[in-house]
């Protein structure tokens, strides 16, 4: 293992480590009781604000996630913390947390660092990389809930599409993409083993 190149896993935050969609809906209903909302099963677009504008003509759902404390108070996705710790403990793997901040970054950027420290520990803070463009980050595997990830480069990573409310309908997978339904360590082990074998052939 000493000189062997490590397998790099990039892990997204919103919708993968942090439970974005259900928390958005819960907070939205608390903020605007009685206002029309989009049930999780009817989410379609990656950006919640696009769905609310197109389906309901509502233009300010962003007020929910631009508020101080929103990003820090997102609960972890089930099994995410354990899976992060497991991957991080493996000698053959290096983990990078790779997350896109919102454009109105005031609270988001600081709180993403705080979230990582709170749930994954102080050491993990140095593993966090914030970027709007994940294609320029090199890695072997990206675990991310966004179906179509575009940017300046052609990605070096294979994309595991992590299931979230907004992407359940998506099935038009590219050749470097497959679905990952949840944080199942046995599944992940087999998947990574398979990707490693493929890269050798």
Give the residue at shortest CB distance from ligand LXEULUCI: 48
Is 172 marked active-site?
no
Strands of the sheet containing 93-99, edge to edge, are 128-130, 93-99, 7-11, 141-144, 158-162, 177-180
Q: Does an H or E element contain 117, and which?
A: helix 108-120
Cβ closer to ligand LXEULUCI: 48 or 195? Answer: 48
User: How many residues are listed for the chain in this entry?
Assistant: 201
Written as six digits, the tokens of 123 are 């050491």
Is 194 marked active-site?
no
14 contributes a contact to ligand LXEULUCI by CB under 6 A: yes
In angstroms, how far is CA 16 from the centroid of its own chain? Answer: 4
**Which position among 9, 13, 25, 80 is part of the footprint of ligand LXEULUCI (CB under 6 A)?**
13
140 contributes a contact to ligand LXEULUCI by CB under 6 A: no
Written as six digits, the tokens of 89 are 């403990």
d(CA 58, CA 80): 32
Site string for ligand LXEULUCI, 77-116 (x = CB under 6 A): ----------------------xxxx-----x--------
56 contributes a contact to ligand LXEULUCI by CB under 6 A: no
* Residue pair 13/99 in contact by the 8 Å Cβ criterion: yes
The catalytic position among 14, 19, 140, 145 is 14
Strand partners, 14: 18
Give contact residues for ligand LXEULUCI (rule: CB under 6 A).
12-15, 20, 46-48, 99-102, 108, 146
Residues classed as catalytic: 12, 14
């Amino acid at each position: 293992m000493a000189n062997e190149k490590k397998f790099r896993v990039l892990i997204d935050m919103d919708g993968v480590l942090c439970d974005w969609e259900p928390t958005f809906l819960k907070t939205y209903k608390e903020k605007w009781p009685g206002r029309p909302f989009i049930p999780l099963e009817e989410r379609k677009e990656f950006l919640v604000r696009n769905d609310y504008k197109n389906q309901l003509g509502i233009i300010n759902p962003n007020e929910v996630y631009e508020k101080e404390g929103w990003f820090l108070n997102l609960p972890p996705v089930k099994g995410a913390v354990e899976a992060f710790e497991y991957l991080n403990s493996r000698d053959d793997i290096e983990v990078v947390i790779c997350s896109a901040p919102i454009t109105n970054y005031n609270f988001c950027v600081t709180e993403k660092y705080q979230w990582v420290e709170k749930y994954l520990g102080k050491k993990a803070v140095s593993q966090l990389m914030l970027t709007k463009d994940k294609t320029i980050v090199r890695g072997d595997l990206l675990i991310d809930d966004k179906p179509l990830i575009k940017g300046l480069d052609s990605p070096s990573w294979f994309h595991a599409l992590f299931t979230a409310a907004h992407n359940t309908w998506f099935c038009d997978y590219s050749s470097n993409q497959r679905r990952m339904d949840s944080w199942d360590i046995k599944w992940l082990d087999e998947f990574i083993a398979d990707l490693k074998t493929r890269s050798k052939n």
